[in-house]
Amino acid sequence: MEEEDKDAPLTENASSGADEKQNEAFSEKIKVGKASSVVVKEHYNVLADSPLPELDMPGAKAYEVVTSRNDNECFALVCDGKLPIRSKAMISLRGVNKAGLLPLVDSGASYWPNLNQECMIIIYERPLGGKVMTSMDSTFEPIRENILIEKYGNIFIDAIRELYVRNITHRAIRIDNMYYMDEGRTNIVFGDCVTSPSAYFQPLCCETIESSMANNAGRDVNTLADDIYSLGVAILMLYLGENPVANMKDVGLFEAKKTNGSYAALVGKRTISKNLVECLRGMLSDNPKQRWTLETFEAWVGGRRLSPVVTKIGARAKRSLEFNGKSYFYIKDIAYAMATNWDSAIDLIKGEKKLEVWVRRGLRNNFLADAIVDIEKETKDISASNRIIEDVTIAKICMLFDPIAPIRYRTVSFFPDGFGVMLSVTILKEQDVSPIIEVVSYGVVDFWYENQLVSLAIPKNIENARSFFKHTIIGYGLERVLYELNKTLPCQSSLLRGYYVDDIRKVLPALDDNAKNINQQQWPVDRHLAAFIGCHFREQTIEQIDAINNIRPDYSTAGMLSLLAVLQWKMGQGSLLGLASWVGGLMAPIIDSYHSKDRRLRLEKEIPKIVRKGSLPDLYNLLDNKEERQLDTSEYAAVKVEFISALKEYSILKNNNKKRDGEAQEVGQQISAIVSFIIMLVSITILLVMRL
């Protein structure tokens, strides 16, 4: 199967001295091209131009390592960053030297010239005998039954138990990931299990029926029973010297497992010793409750013979249910058919109520039929589109019919334990995340837990994810869920491109060095970076992130500056000239929020001085000085009062002038009337005198 199809289901605070060194490491210029070696943790020189293709993993390339620290030869696996790694497992296994496990010596993120970016590089002891099986379709010399049981049985048990006590599982047990540590090829170990998500690259033959239904990214993380199953497959292949189903296509193999059971599908007509048959039937049981435990396998290796495992088949209906041209008698088969023919499934449920009628009459299970009716009633109350209501209905009925199967919802299929990885892989591959959001937002995940045969509480991370999905502002939303569920995932911000920032202390040095390569008109904080900081520095940055989301440009800019300043202050990190220069050029909204022109000019002159110190806290204190802000506000208020007073006085004067003009006009009119009257009297008098 091609890598791009791997996500599809089968059916389709530190010391300042240390920080200074860290800053120096981050400030090295990225150069395109190959280098003779890359140093990891100061002791391991990984030869970038000396690959070891025979030790490659699907998600990481192998290279030679030169070191004087370890007595044994080492090799490196360089992860390309296309998939999340199992960081917790990596940390837990570092330095462990246990029979049956490939010793993980050390690990660290370093610049990798072949990819022109920082990558996680994992140092392992080199298996001198190479792989047990070079590929899943190759052959090799079979291991005799007595050696397989007496020698390797306890080694495998000890290896899995070592993982178990560390609260991790391997989930990559397969024959082409098993190695001989010695040149004499007598000491077999399980290979790498940390360079990719749990079971991501496991072939279908090595996975249970339920796990095979899930997207590769959504397979269960902490299930010891799945490791037992995979070990059973590996034991079969070690005994046979080949993969018995190498020529079978995945779809055919899956159908064979569903129809005949895993043991029959994998063994076929091959002759297996009676003693080993007992072991394989127990380890390959398709019923998790009946499958052998580690203790059961240990007892068998010790010589105890156990009762044979007989897988129970579910109730068979009295009559078949016709769906998409096929006949079905078992509810698990119906659930699988609905999940793989999603757009047709709703007609089976709602059309003529064929599904409910078949469950009542054919399967004679009124309890299950009533549950179907209840699901339909409940989903009608969902405040969502018809499409979502239908999808939720189908998903819940599939879970009702097959509780131990993964959550199946349109194009996604995953176990709740794999939710975080499923989300991260979907985002890293830039695929549609809406189905995953809907599964959490509309209670589909909740129903999976409620529908289990044993009582399981809904994990807090699911509740938190639902809450974060509802708040889509910067620092929350999808990006926040990503980092809350994947604490060790490096920040995916484009502002940090080229750097492996999986630690909050690495954020500012990476931004500082990248400042020269980025358009400095954009903010040095985007959605991913705000969410990453909020996740890893939660209590210290709530107010800053809230301020970033303020609609006032000066408030949001101050929030951005404060967020970065708090990081530099709390982490005790030294001068950040590049970042300070970048941030300093974005402070116009804060400067413009001051009323005093003189003060604005003074701030513009002071900023370059602070920038040259590389101190974001000093820059913040300059621009958001409370005393200066209060003084500016009080001066502005005083000026406003003075201005309003002057305005009132002007208004009074203006009104008085108008009144005087009116009075003058009135007096003028009166004088004019008197003068006119006098002139008239004089004129009349003169006329009378002249007549006399």
For residue 16, pLDDT beyond 50: no
Does 548 lie in the same domain as 451? no
Does 343 lie in the same domain as 466? yes
pLDDT digits (tens, 9 = 90+) for 600-623: 999 999 999 999 999 999 999 999
Instruction: Please state whether beta strands 104-112 and 60-66 pair in parallel, antiparallel, or not at all (unpaired).
Output: unpaired
For residue 656, pLDDT beyond 60: yes
Q: Is 406 a domain residue?
A: no
Does 385 lie in the same domain as 494? no
Last residue of a domain, one of 76, 101, 126: 126
Q: Is 26 a domain residue?
A: no
For residue 1, pLDDT beyond 80: no
Q: Residue 130: helix, strand or coil by DSSP?
A: strand
pLDDT digits (tens, 9 = 90+) for 477-533: 999 999 999 999 999 999 999 999 999 999 999 999 999 888 889 999 999 999 999
User: The tokens of 550 are what?
Assistant: 């303020």
What is the pLDDT, as a whole number, of residue 315? 84
Range of the domain at 432: 321-398+414-470
The larger pLDDT score, comparing residue 641 to residue 507, is at 507
Residue with tokens 């970016």: 117
Q: What is the distance, to the nearest Å, from the Cα of residue 434 to the centroid of all Cα atoms in its chain?
A: 14
What is the pLDDT, as a whole number, of residue 22? 45
Q: Where are the alpha helices (DSSP H) in 222-330?
A: 224-240, 250-260, 262-267, 274-283, 294-301
Does 60 lie in the same domain as 116? yes
Tally of structural domains, the chain: 5
Does 497 lie in the same domain as 590? yes
For residue 17, pLDDT beyond 60: no
For residue 242, pLDDT beyond 70: yes
Report angle CA 552, 558, 562 to the nearest 5 degrees: 145
pTM of the model: 0.85
Does 363 lie in the same domain as 272? no
Q: Is 629 a domain residue?
A: no
For residue 26, pLDDT beyond 70: no
CA atoms of 671 and 674, how far apart (whole Å): 5
Q: Is 512 a domain residue?
A: yes
What is the pLDDT, as a whole number, of residue 28? 44
Does 133 lie in the same domain as 119? no
The strands making up 104-112's β-sheet, listed across from edge to edge, are 38-40, 44-51, 60-66, 74-79, 117-125, 104-112
Does 198 lie in the same domain as 229? yes
Q: Is 475 a domain residue?
A: no
DSSP symbols for 549-570: T-SSHHHHHHHHHHHHHHHHHH
What is the pLDDT, as a whole number, of residue 117? 93
Does 148 lie in the same domain as 228? yes
Does 548 lie in the same domain as 454? no
Does 122 lie in the same domain as 132? no
Last residue of a domain, one of 83, 102, 126: 126
Q: Is 483 a domain residue?
A: no
- Greatest pairwise CA separation for the chain in angstroms: 169
CATH number at 275 reads 1.10.510.10
For residue 6, pLDDT beyond 90: no
Does 359 lie in the same domain as 286? no
Q: Is 478 a domain residue?
A: no
Last residue of a domain, one of 624, 649, 666: 624
160 in Cβ contact with 262 (< 8 Å) = no
What is the pLDDT, as a whole number, of residue 398? 96
Q: Is 13 a domain residue?
A: no
What is the pLDDT, as a whole number, of residue 25? 44
CA atoms of 469 and 463, how far apart (whole Å): 10
CATH number at 46 reads 3.30.200.20
Q: Quick one: which of 517, 492, 518 has its CA closest to 507?
A: 492
What is the pLDDT, as a whole number, of residue 692? 62
- Banded model confidence at residue 336, pLDDT cuts 50, 70, 90: very high
